[in-house]
């Protein structure tokens, strides 16, 4: 028996940010994607995540900040590297920074909140691909850079969970090998 949700989950495949192009989601589609990303398990309704959108010219402007930060962080990054950093967010029409913001709450441990952020990232991917777009969730060096923390306006206790790139796949991604369930599933027995 076929089930469209299960079929989608079994077929979903990340598309490299380098393989994405126009068009990206329109405003209504992006709102659907973000709504799905916010509809994840969230013990105590703490909303331990938030999103920063990069679209249009903002992608190039943030790229300049990336290149400047790379220049400061590395002894001699080289012109080619700096040009790549400046164009990094131009790889896709939409880039979404997912920010983890763990809240102090003894009833909702930090680990549960971090897992909720991961679920939010996965829902971004799943919703984007369900609407026919390609998407990739990555971190790369700038997710861990202090300059980027400031550029993204991260507060105390906040950190980057990843950047989700969304656009139209330029080519169909190749399927990759998946784990053998026999190697990763066991049944507990007393």
Query: Residue 28: which CATH number?
Result: 3.40.109.10
Kindly report the average pLDDT of the chain as a whole number. Answer: 95
Inside any domain, residue 123: yes
Inside any domain, residue 111: yes
Question: What are the tokens at 55?
Answer: 């679209």
Say yes or no to pLDDT of 106 above 80: yes
pLDDT at 2: 86
pLDDT at 17: 96
Q: How many domains does the chain have?
A: 1
Per-residue pLDDT tens for 62-71? Answer: 999 999 999 9
Inside any domain, residue 186: no
Evaluate whether 38 touches 150 at the Cβ level (below 8 Å): no
Evaluate whether 124 touches 137 at the Cβ level (below 8 Å): yes
pLDDT at 90: 98
Per-residue pLDDT tens for 148-175? Answer: 999 999 999 899 999 999 999 998 888 8
Tell me how far apart the alpha carbons of residues 160 and 84 are, in angstroms, rounded to a whole number.
21
Inside any domain, residue 127: yes
User: What integer is the mean pLDDT of 133-143?
Assistant: 96
Range of the domain at 100: 14-55+91-171
Per-residue pLDDT tens for 17-63? Answer: 999 999 999 999 999 999 999 999 999 999 999 999 999 999 999 99
Q: What is the DSSP letter of 106?
A: T
For the full predicted model, state whether its pTM sits above 0.85. yes
Nearest to 55 by CA among 32, 76, 79, 27: 27
């Amino acid at each position: 028996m076929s089930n469209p949700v299960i079929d989608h989950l079994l077929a979903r495949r990340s598309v490299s940010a380098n393989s994405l192009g126009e068009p990206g989601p329109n405003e209504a589609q992006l709102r659907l994607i973000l709504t799905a990303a916010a509809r994840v398990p969230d013990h105590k309704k703490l909303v331990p995540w938030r999103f920063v959108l990069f679209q249009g010219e903002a992608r190039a402007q943030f790229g300049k900040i990336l290149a400047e930060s790379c220049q400061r962080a590395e002894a001699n990054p080289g012109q080619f590297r700096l040009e790549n950093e400046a164009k990094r967010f131009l790889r896709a029409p939409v880039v979404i920074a997912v920010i983890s913001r763990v809240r102090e709450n003894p009833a909702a441990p930090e680990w549960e909140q971090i897992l909720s952020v991961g679920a939010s990232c996965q829902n971004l991917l799943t919703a984007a691909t369900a609407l026919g777009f390609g998407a990739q969730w990555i971190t790369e060096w700038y997710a861990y850079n202090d300059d980027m923390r400031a550029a993204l306006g991260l507060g105390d206790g906040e950190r980057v969970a990843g950047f989700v790139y969304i656009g139209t796949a330029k080519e169909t991604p190749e399927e990759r090998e998946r784990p053998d369930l026999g190697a990763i599933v066991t049944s507990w027995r007393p």
